[in-house]
Structure 1
């Protein structure tokens, strides 16, 4: 089973994707981890690397191509990235979208990265604007279009344990024998 988990920074996608993969006995691949490794290799913060990627489209294309290959070649994995749902639209058995208000996400990021909340909020807004621009330009993807997702959750409304229970129950209720929801999104040109 291939499950994708997508959402903006600080939405809880990494935390929940890891827990979901563990609960279901699946592997876990994080696009964010790969992106942060690429940024560190160039001695940049993720925000700086996002903006650098605006000038060098090959960065996104390399990352997205790698994630797309994982989506096509691997089974029994939770693939987590901002574009995971789009990258695996024609292969995923189930696609989740997680979100939370910016104020909540900024607090989570600030705590995780030991920085002031105002700084986390500003950096997150810059990062999201940069990513939104690139996804539209490179792939004609409107990241705010949630129509491809099977379930979308506001993670600010759930605690970690009850939310994991909801996610597991959602996946278990899913009838993997049906091909509904596996078709590519119409009108989207995939060029990863």
Structure 2
């Protein structure tokens, strides 16, 4: 089973994808971890690296190509990244989208990264604007189009433990259909 978890920064993707993988006995791959490693290698923050990547599409394409390859060749995996649902295409058995109000996400990021909330909010908004622009330009993906997801959740509505219970129950209730029941995502340029 391939499960994708997508959403904006601070939405709970990493925490819940790791927890879901653990509870279901699946592997976990985080695109965010790979992206942060790429930024650190260049001595940049993720926000700085996002803006740097606007000028050289090869950084995004390399990361997305790698995640696409993982998504299309792996089973028994929870793949987590902002574009995971799009990158997996019709290979995903289940696609989740997580979100929360920007104020909640900024508080989570500020706590995680030991920075003031107002700074985390400003950086998050800059990062999201940068990513939105690049995804549309590179792949013709409107990141705000949630129609490809099987379930979308506002993660601010549950405590972390209860939310994980909701996710596990959702996956356990899933009944796969044959390959003809999976619809490819129309209109997406898969040239990563």
Both proteins in one fold, TM over 0.5 = yes
* Partner-residue secondary structure (3-state), 1:3: strand
Show the 5 A alignment for 1:91-110: 91-110=91-110
Aligned residue number for residue 84 of structure 1: 84
TM-score, normalization by structure 2 = 0.98
Show the 5 A alignment for 1:1-192: 1-179=1-179, 182-192=182-192
Displacement, 1:160?
A: 1.1
How far apart in 1 are the matches of 2:177 and 2:20? 20
* Partner-residue secondary structure (3-state), 1:90: helix
TM-score, normalization by structure 1 = 0.98
Displacement, 1:181?
A: 6.4
- Matched positions, count: 192
How far apart in 2 are the matches of 1:72 and 1:36? 23
Deviation sequence 1:162-189 (CA, Å, 0-9, x none): 1111101100111124447632211222
Cα RMSD (Å): 1.0
In structure 2, stretches of 5+ residues that fail to align are none
